[in-house]
């Protein structure tokens, strides 16, 4: 599995991209449950179809699609969870502490100038400066916010271009007051302007 963040991937002495055992097991179990459900649906396909044929009223139009729909849905989830178990169960880990990072990711439209401006805003560590975070459906700028909660540290990466060949700007590390303020912000808070709108003098030096 290729690393998902060019900035962190460029710092192998500090971060590693590793499979999460807990996530792998969880997705494997869900895939197994979905697979069992698929087998049961296939084995009992005729019975399900017969039961559906007795539907009356507004539901009568569903008679012919209930059984096939159950096959498609269970097969979809079996494949989805299997894919997550194989390719979607990786996390970034701090090498020195072994702490797994939890991340939130955003896309923004723009080029180099916009990426550098976004990076400079977050480098202040001040929500009054970096909020609101752009959150577009498409864009060449990739912003990731990682929390290492046990270490009371946050990391922010800004990349330009598509992974894995994106150009990563220098890693931003936030501690102390800047970490606490960022940790308190939910995803909804991040995409809204700062509630206070006041620059924090403790972070602005």
Higher pLDDT, 22 or 203: 22
Number of structural domains, the chain?
A: 2
- The residue from 88, 118, 145 where one domain ends is 88
Q: Could you tell me if 153 and 170 lie in one domain?
A: yes
Is the pLDDT reported for residue 32 higher than 70?
yes
Range of 45's domain?
Answer: 21-88
13 belongs to a structural domain = yes
Is the pLDDT reported for residue 46 higher than 60?
yes
- The residue from 88, 118, 133 where one domain ends is 88
Residue reference for tokens 């072994």: 98
Q: Return the SS3 of 91.
A: strand
Q: What is the mean pLDDT of the chain?
A: 86
Summarize pLDDT for 130-175 with one digit per residue, the tens: 999 988 988 999 999 999 999 999 999 999 998 777 889 999 999 9
Is the pLDDT reported for residue 186 higher than 60?
yes
Q: Could you tell me if 84 and 34 lie in one domain?
A: yes
Q: Could you tell me if 29 and 54 lie in one domain?
A: yes
Q: What is the pTM of this model?
A: 0.70
Q: Could you tell me if 31 and 70 lie in one domain?
A: yes
In sequence order, what DSSP letters do the residues of 66-130 get, joined into one string?
HHHHHHHHHHHHHHHHHHHHHHS-EEEEETTT-PBPEEEEEEE---HHHHHHHHHHHHT--HHHH
200 belongs to a structural domain = yes
In DSSP terms, 103 is beta-bridged to: 146
- The residue from 68, 88, 108 where one domain ends is 88
pLDDT for residue 86 = 77
Q: Could you tell me if 51 and 128 lie in one domain?
A: no
Contact 164, 6 (CB under 8 A): yes
């Amino acid at each position: 599995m290729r690393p998902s963040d060019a900035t962190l991937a460029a710092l192998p002495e500090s971060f590693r991209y590793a499979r999460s055992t807990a996530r792998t097991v969880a997705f494997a179990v869900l895939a197994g449950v979905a697979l069992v459900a698929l087998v049961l649906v296939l084995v009992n396909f005729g019975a399900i179809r017969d039961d559906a044929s007795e539907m009356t009223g507004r539901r009568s139009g569903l008679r012919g699609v209930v059984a096939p729909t159950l096959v498609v849905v269970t097969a979809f989830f079996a494949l989805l969870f299997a894919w997550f178990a194989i390719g979607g169960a990786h996390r970034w880990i701090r090498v020195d502490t072994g702490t797994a990072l939890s991340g939130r990711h955003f896309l923004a439209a723009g080029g180099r100038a916009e990426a550098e401006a976004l990076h400079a805003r977050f480098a202040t560590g001040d929500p009054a400066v970096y909020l609101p975070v752009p959150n577009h459906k498409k864009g060449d700028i990739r912003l990731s916010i990682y929390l290492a909660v046990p270490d009371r540290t946050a990391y922010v990466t800004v990349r330009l271009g598509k992974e894995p060949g994106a150009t990563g700007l220098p890693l931003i590390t936030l501690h102390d007051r800047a970490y606490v303020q960022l940790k308190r912000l939910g995803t909804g808070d991040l995409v809204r302007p700062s509630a206070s709108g006041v620059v924090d003098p403790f972070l602005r030096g």
